[in-house]
Copies of this chain bind each other. A is one copy, B any other.
Amino acid sequence: MKVGLDVGGTKTDAVALDAAGAIIGRVRLPTGWGPDAVTQTILDAVHAVAADAGADPGEVGSVGVGIPGQVQPGSGRVVHAVNLGVERLDLAAALTPRLGVPVRLENDVKAAALGAYALHAAEGRAPESMAYLNVGTGIAAGIVSRGMLWRGARGTAGEVGHISVDPNGPLCRCGQRGCIEAFAGGGAIAERWARRGALPVRDVFDAADAGDASALQLRAGLARGVAAAIRVLVLTADVDIVVLGGGVTALGERLMTDVAAELTASAEASPFMRSLRLGERVEFLPPGSPAAALGAALVGAGETEHDAEEALAHG
Tell me the A residues contacting B by CB distance below 8 Å: 127-129, 141, 143, 145-146, 148, 150-160, 162-168, 172, 174-177, 228, 231-240, 266, 269-273, 276, 304-306, 309-310, 312-313, 315
Smallest beta-carbon distance A130→chain B, Å: 9
Assembled-state Cα–Cα distance A146/B177 (Å): 34
- Which one of B152, B231, B239 lies within 8 Å of A163 (CB-CB)? B231
Are the CB atoms of A239 and B176 closer together than 8 Å?
Answer: no
Are the CB atoms of A236 and B158 closer together than 8 Å?
Answer: yes
Known contacts: A168-B168, A228-B164, A231-B163. The answer to whether A238 contacts B312 by CB under 8 A is: no
Q: Which residues of B contact A168 (CB under 8 A)?
A: 168
Assembled-state Cα–Cα distance A140/B298 (Å): 34
Are the CB atoms of A236 and B238 closer together than 8 Å?
Answer: no
Known contacts: A175-B273, A272-B175. The answer to whether A237 contacts B237 by CB under 8 A is: yes
Assembled-state Cα–Cα distance A273/B175 (Å): 9
Known contacts: A165-B164, A270-B175, A270-B176. The answer to whether A236 contacts B309 by CB under 8 A is: no
Q: List 21 A-B contacts (CB under 8 A).
A: A141-B236, A143-B237, A145-B312, A150-B237, A150-B238, A154-B238, A155-B238, A157-B236, A162-B235, A163-B231, A163-B232, A164-B231, A165-B167, A168-B168, A174-B271, A175-B269, A175-B270, A176-B269, A232-B236, A237-B237, A305-B313
Are the CB atoms of A272 and B174 closer together than 8 Å?
Answer: yes
- Which one of B151, B156, B232 lies within 8 Å of A234 (CB-CB)? B156
Q: Which residues of B contact A306 (CB under 8 A)?
A: 313
